[in-house]
Structure 1
């Protein structure tokens, strides 16, 4: 089973991430990882963890979510420590001292799911400060526009904004303490967007402040199984004040400390 990258990430790919806030990397995971994680995802759906969420929002179909899966499922733990994902994050972020795992999120839109992922960016949900924050979004089924491909607003990570988190379950659990997300759909002519259709083995890396959204899965008979693994680099610290993200347990570190502990383990060192 592949542990190292099959190729280095190119300077152009790293520049795309820096400039656009997102980059699609093709053929980064081998067939063994794909098959192993397909089985593991189905096991995790059948026997979900304590952070499981029903994200259907009252819509038709099934949208399964779960977080911190690595803490209780051996295959997910292997993925975050032993797959190419940490090295992908290191090269894209440009980390030199460390890469730590923040958490993982399982996101599965079954065929016929009408649940829409609203426009949002990730980092305002999270108890972290720093620039080197990314998500490695890895699909384990072919993903097209009709089966739930994510759409990204190019350059939005450089707006200097933190918008109010929205609940994926359709309620108002996060309140309204931050500036609301602009009506992106009403202003599409003012922005530039990108959608990557992907195959198993590809991954998409996006910055923690890149605004993105996704439709439901209207493609009959085609699942959309994906794992979003959140990694942090050298400059990231723990900041629980004002955070909206529930954690599976308390990390036991002080505010302002480097994001590294048993709950946020180091997955890469020089």
Structure 2
């Protein structure tokens, strides 16, 4: 076992998935590039991780980000919390999501955990998550990739539910990554992307077919990293707290292109990218095998 995941110094839930991902949900994911999987995360994990997310929000570590405009309610984010907090390590490595990834990436011989990220919109946080794909941020190449978004509060259309552009993962197009906040250092990082400019999906929103993924605690969202997605602001009086967890199969390879996330020090400056062979496996202490 990787030394990075061997020891967890806290007690954590031991419950597994309430039920498996269904054939219909896998088919929706393959067709649309996103799917809502309802009623699969046990309540003890929901409560455990809601508390963990809230704790890190309140700590406001300097490595976290606030994508909201100055003076507005926060749009909080933090990458790689699993590397610094045992609750997130338990969730990533021993929680139910590794089994979800195994059930989705059916042709993989191994499941590898890549990274996690907190996304939390405070009540009244009207800042939208801009339309984007995940893949152009990632130093990973290959088909065996899945991102799993888990809400710990009700996510409604007016409360920050994620919007997915159905079928966009099959267009064969990867778009230039953009920062969630137009800071000069972020703009500079992403300007050397090898990808093409993104259309104005906001201006043409009504001409596309969107999945507005309203969800409850206990549900999860599957999405392909090539799927265009984003969310509106949180116009409710409740939090919208969520964690995204990214898993890959052994067919995924290391692809540290010029605009990958590790070059955005505003986002990942608190961690160091591993020295891996381009085109080789990503498995290492930072990206550990979680199944089998």
| CA spacing shift, 1:35–1:73, aligned 2, 3 Å | same
Distance 1:2 1:15 in 2: 29
User: Residues 235-254 of structure 1: matches in 2 within 5 Å?
Assistant: 235-246=251-262, 247=268, 248-254=271-277
Equivalent-residue separation in structure 2 for 1:228 and 1:50 (angstroms): 20
| Gap change, CA 1:49 and 1:95, over 3 Å in 2 | farther
| Conservation of the 8 A alpha-carbon contact between 2:168 and 2:228 | yes
Unaligned runs of at least 5 residues, structure 2: 1-12, 263-267
- Residue in structure 2 matched with residue 136 of structure 1 by the alignment: 148
Matched, 1:229 2:229: no
Residue 170 of structure 1: CA displacement? 2.1
3-state SS in 1 of match to 2:91: helix
Q: 1:204 to 1:59 in 2, by over 3 A?
A: farther
Give the structure 2 partner of residue 20 of structure 1: 32
Task: Say if 2:284 is the partner of 1:258.
Answer: no
The runs of 5 or more residues in structure 1 that have no matched partner are none
* Partner of residue 202 from structure 2, selected from 182, 185, 192: 185
Give, in whole Å, the separation in 2 of the partners of 1:266 and 1:203: 22
In structure 1, C-alpha distance between the alignment counterparts of 2:230 and 2:108, rounded to whole Å: 31
Please tell me the root mean square deviation across aligned C-alpha atoms, in Å.
1.6
2:161 maps to what in 1?
A: 149
Return the alpha-carbon distance in structure 2 between the equivalents of residues 256 and 167 of structure 1: 26
Q: Which moved more, 1:174-183 or 1:81-90?
A: 174-183
CA distance in 2, matches of 1:207, 1:8: 19
State the partner residue of 2:130.
118
Secondary structure of residue in 2 paired with 1:145? coil
- Equivalent position to 1:207, from 220, 224, 239: 224
* Counterpart residue number, 2:175: 163
Moved more, 188-197 or 204-213: 188-197
Count how many residue pairs are aligned between Structure 1 and Structure 2: 268
In structure 2, the CA distance between the partners of 1:241 and 1:64, relative to structure 1 (3 Å rule), is: same
Q: Which residue of 2 aligns with 1:219?
A: 236
Question: Shift of residue 180 of structure 1?
Answer: 1.2
Give a deviation string over 1:61-100, Cα, whole Å, max 9, x none: 1111100000000000000111110111111122431111
Query: With structure 2 as the length reference, what TM-score do the two structures score?
Result: 0.87
